[in-house]
Structure 1
Amino acid sequence: MATIRKRRKKDGSFSYIAQIRIARDGHQHAESKAFPRKAMAEEWAKRRELELKSPGGMLSAKWRGVTLGDAIERYIHEFAQDAGRSKRATIQQLLRFPIARVQITELTSEQIIGHAVIRRDSGIKPSTINQDITWLGIILKTAAAAWKMPVELNEFESAKLLLRSKGLVSRPGSRDRRPTAEEIKQIRAYFRRSQRIRPSAIIPMEDIMDFAISSSRRQEEITRLTWEDLDHQAMTCWVRDAKHPRQKWGNHKRFKLSHEAMGIIQRQPRAQGEERIFPYNGKSIGTRWRAATAACGIEDLRFHDLRHEATSRLFEAGYEIVEVQQFTLHESWDVLKRYTHLNPQDLILRDF
């Protein structure tokens, strides 16, 4: 029910305060607004009462004033604590743009498209803009499902459809970077020099590089392998919480080890009370790798490219698809083939 109160201001003039109080479905809502004329206050009060009594009106009022930026920060706090550094950075950078200041319940397709245009005009590639739009969708859907915010998901879907049709967003192209023999030689020499300078304080990066190439394991997976999960006789090991598109934790898988990979494991020192085979920090490995490539003048070579190299070498050695999967643990051939970059000159012809 609305009430109108007349109030004298300091300059002697009057203002009219419209107050609304509504109780519905066990929820109470109150709001007020000042007007210079009584008729304006009455008109606003009637309109707001109708809005609040309409389906979803009370819910919209509850989240009035909450911005997309507020939702982003809440998502980071509640759902992205264990996210990797790059993912958190991608989410957090959305806070720097005007779209973060828009009320989340009033976010429109026009504003989402406008954000993509701003990014494009600043020289950002469609694949990078696609990351922004993907995270916006995840945050909006989380807001609707987890926090019951009345978000207009249709507005987001409409914007995404247009952005794709106009080429403002696109999926990143498959990466086919493989280290050359000369690049591996240079990096190996760099690691050996570093090891001689500080033999007790440096991660055995040469062994870790060779293990990545011979096992196809990811950077973080290498640091999670344990002695207990190693089966010397079967030449296998378990990788805990293996990467999965939908299952972050508990996805434990057993993979086959090559003779070279097993040899590298067997020469690792086993410290008292240490369960891990490679007891190092994955981020530190990444830092050391970037330092090595920079020092050697090698451009655009990531540690993950060693997984590409490992997978390609397995195919070049003659292993079949299902056999390669026992080493790499790729979920499907569609995913696996992205890491397979065979050289035509190395293909051995067979008689039909």
Structure 2
Amino acid sequence: MPDLDQLNRRAIGCLLGVSVFGLAICGPTYAAETIKIGSVLSITGPASFLGDPEDKTLKLYVDKINAAGGVAGRKIELVVYDDGGDANKARTFATRLVEDDKVTAIVGGSTTGTTMAMIPVFEEAKVPFISLAGAIEVVDPVRKYVFKTPHTDKMACEKIFENLKLRAFTRIAMISGTDGFGTSMRAQCLKVAGNYGIQIVADETYGPRDNDMTAQLTKIKNTAGVQAVVNPGFGQGPAIVTRNYAQLGMSATPLYESHGVASKSFIELAGAAADGVRLPAAALLVGDKLPDADPQKKVVVDYKQAYEASAKQPVSTFGGHAYDGLFILVDAMKRASSADSDKVRDEIEKTKGFVGTGGIVTMSPTDHLGLDLLAFRMLEIKGGGWTLIQPGS
């Protein structure tokens, strides 16, 4: 793929009617000047609470970037496909982005399942892919062309267990979704629990189409010595768990959810039962509560205001993941002075000190996420809103 300077010279050659780099025919100048960025998102379907804000965010900020002159004078052309949460469709669209649309890079992949289906396509084509999915398996093991922006499920387990340890809770139960994210996070929690002195004394699961988890929660309720419950999962499942939890009179036992529910829609679905639930999440949800000296405050407050004014709906961390992915990519293209996929990939990997909605990102050849546990904030839902738990509580 030609770099930005080559494309500029080619466009000038077309305007003068001369051959450049052996090209006898020039296409439309505008098409030659655009940089194509692809995206496959779950805009509709069961994961639309992820894909819809991601889609809205990408379109909002691509328009802003183009209005400000684009990338080194070149406009971004955003190509978006909706997989509806279907991994097979995601893979088909991934192939289309590579073979037909010939994109420079991809920001997308709303779920772990759709992301994992697309990875082989982008790896084989050597096109950088910044995923918006949560599971650690997206970037562990590290793949040359695959990156991601959300905190991992392993980090969520560690942040939750940190808080459990502070509260002297050592005996917990888990109830996990069997979707890709829930399965992965459950495995990560089981793996790291011992590092925090946590004993898992009950371990239940539920399917993505289950609409009542009373039976599983009753088993947990009847298990002796359970001090807290952790629910790895995303989508409607955790909201059902939370409602059933309250219905069974279990609210005196602390309930922890994952960052997979970090949106206002979870609170709305769970209703009053959500009060008291704790979860690790990005600073975005509590931007107005951050101290002015926090380096993320301006980024998250500005994004929240811009998104809510445009989308007419509450901000979520999921749209924030798309914001981070887009600007990590744009910054990399600017540093590379190129739209060449390999050069852009190399610059993404060199990302250092990028202040995003999810944290401060510093990547390396062995770390294609670039976040640590400090990027997570522990939140508690109170009165239908987010509150920031102070360190040590």
TM-score, length basis structure 2: 0.23
Give the number of the structure with larger relative contact order, counting CA–CA contacts within 8 Å between residues 6 or more apart: 2
Larger radius of gyration: 1
Larger helix fraction of residues: 1
What's the TM-score once normalised by structure 1's chain length?
0.25
